[in-house]
Amino acid sequence: MADRVFLTGATGFVGAHILDALIDAGYSVRALVRSDGARIRVQHAQASTCERVVGDLAHPGDLVRALDGCRYVVHCAALYSFAPSARAAMHAINVVGTAGLFEAAHLAGVERAVLTSSSATAGHEHDGRPATEETFADASGMRTGAYHHSKLDQERAAFASRVPVVAVLPTAPIGAGDWKPTPTGAMILDFARGKMFAKPPGAGGMNLVAVEDVARAHVAALTHGRIGERYLVGGENLPFDRLWAMLATITGRSAPRWRVPVALALGIAYGDELRCRLSPHARPFVPLEGVRMSLDRMFVDASKAQRELGIVPSSVEAALERAVAYYRDNGYLN
């Protein structure tokens, strides 16, 4: 009988790819969904090995029975929002929910868990050196937003639990199937739609990684990851100007030439932040956290995952092509 994995976040972009990778590796999967109507986008031919169970991280004590018979947990679910009104909910789900889930997993006899964290918890390039697993973001710094702060606290909660935990820290996953989309997917989609009118301020950059590589890293971490370790999973460190050039080639759109001044970008973002604070249900158009991040070189050294998990990065350009093709084929660019 195949080992059973309890997977959270299977309805999301990364979680759906993890689900396919787990099935491909021969695992059976019990996927947590929040409602009977939740859609799981399973691409694998053996999708019948995926069992759905309804539950909520807001009530983790109810999950002990659902975890019964599962050897492993892969915890990918998280609440991600730039909206000020969502900050309390992000802490409740990402931190308190994680602690409760892993306590339920301990009671159910789970052997080990893999946590989907974020490369942002390792910080950004410092003095010309990319972030590694030995570095941590400054939680007191002005550029650590609410979501990434919650992911730092989530890691601490996971490693403090009574379940053996391995953490996977993806950079910015890209590829087909980013239906919501994620902030990185939204950036790609805006460029493809011709809505990218200016370059971000500063000379920042980011690491992009094919979502399939992220999924394979989670599967490898189940058996090859060392307990208590963090693994950065990245593809290529790209200055934003290089990223725009790649997207211009893929989409046939011209890359923006004008660069937004830092003061102007921050001024607009602070104004948008104030608007969202005054209107609790508002969503930011120019997130302050996003502007702050665009000033940095969000570069990482992912060699540890290559050595210990066997994750050789695949082509970022090909993953960008798959992302654009997905949006084109599914009506996002009409």
We report the CATH number of the domain holding residue 149 as: 3.40.50.720
Ramachandran quadrant class, 26 (left: phi over 0; alpha: psi -120 to 50; beta: rest): left
- Is 185 domain-assigned? no
> Looking at the predicted structure, is the pLDDT value of residue 10 above 50?
yes
- Is 202 domain-assigned? no
Assessment of whether the complete model's pTM goes beyond 0.85: yes
- Is 199 domain-assigned? no
Tell me which residue has tokens 């934003």.
240
- Is 25 domain-assigned? yes
- Is 278 domain-assigned? no
Instruction: Report pLDDT for 86.
Output: 79
- Is 10 domain-assigned? yes
* Strongest mean pLDDT among 90-94, 145-149, 207-211: 207-211
Give the burial class of 139: count Cβ atoms within 10 A of its Cβ; 0-12 exposed, 13-18 middle, 19 or more buried. Answer: exposed
- Residue range(s) defining the domain that contains residue 51: 4-174+208-236+299-314
- Is 104 domain-assigned? yes
pLDDT in tens, 115-138: 999 999 998 877 789 999 999 987
Q: How confident is the model at residue 142 (pLDDT cuts 50, 70, 90)?
A: very low
CA dihedral 41, 49, 18, 216 (to 10 degrees): -140
Q: How confident is the model at residue 47 (pLDDT cuts 50, 70, 90)?
A: low
Q: Name residue 129's beta-bridge partners.
A: 126
- Is 291 domain-assigned? no
Contact between 276 and 270 (Cβ < 8 Å) = no
- Domain count of the fold of the chain: 1
pLDDT in tens, 240-275: 999 999 999 999 999 888 888 777 878 887 787 788
Q: How confident is the model at residue 45 (pLDDT cuts 50, 70, 90)?
A: very low
DSSP collapsed to 3 states, the chain:
CCCEEEEECCCCHHHHHHHHHHHHCCCEEEEEECCCCCCCCCCCCCHHHEEEEECCCCCHHHHHHHHCCCCEEEECCCCCCCCHHHHHHHHHHHHHHHHHHHHHHHHCCCCEEEEECCHHHHCCCECCECECCCCCCCCCCCCCCHHHHHHHHHHHHHHCCCCCEEEEEECEEECCCCCCCCHHHHHHHHHHCCCCCCECCCCCEEEEEEHHHHHHHHHHHHHCCCCCCEEEECCEEEEHHHHHHHHHHHHCCCCCCCECCHHHHHHHHHHHHHHHHHCCCCCCCCCHHHHHHHCCEECECCHHHHHHHCCCCCCHHHHHHHHHHHHHHCCCCC
